[in-house]
Amino acid sequence: MQDVQPIEIRVRNRTSMDCCITAAVDRMIEGAKRKRTHGILVTRLEDGHFVVGLSDKVPFGYTDQLDFRRQPA
């Protein structure tokens, strides 16, 4: 079975963010259905920069999110 590669997303506005993340999650759903062992993880690396991929840390059938943006001190 071919591995499903994570999708990196860079956007400049909220509308693009919603559209691109939804499209990436939809693509990951297909891969998750084939594997049946991984869920989907949406990771925010910084404002406008995301990675959407399959994760063995997320149960099959679920989507979770992480936010790694720097928080003000």
pLDDT surpasses 60 at 1: no
Based on its alpha-carbon atoms, the radius of gyration of the chain, rounded to whole angstroms, reads: 13
The pTM score is 0.90
Q: Which residues contact 3 (CB under 8 A, 6 or more apart)?
A: none
DSSP of 6-69, one letter per residue? PEEEE-SSHHHHHHHHHHHHHHHHHHHHHHSS-EEEEEEEETTEEEEEEETTS-TT-EEEEE-P
| pLDDT tens sequence across 2-58 | 578 999 999 999 999 999 999 999 999 999 999 899 999 999 999 999 999 999 999
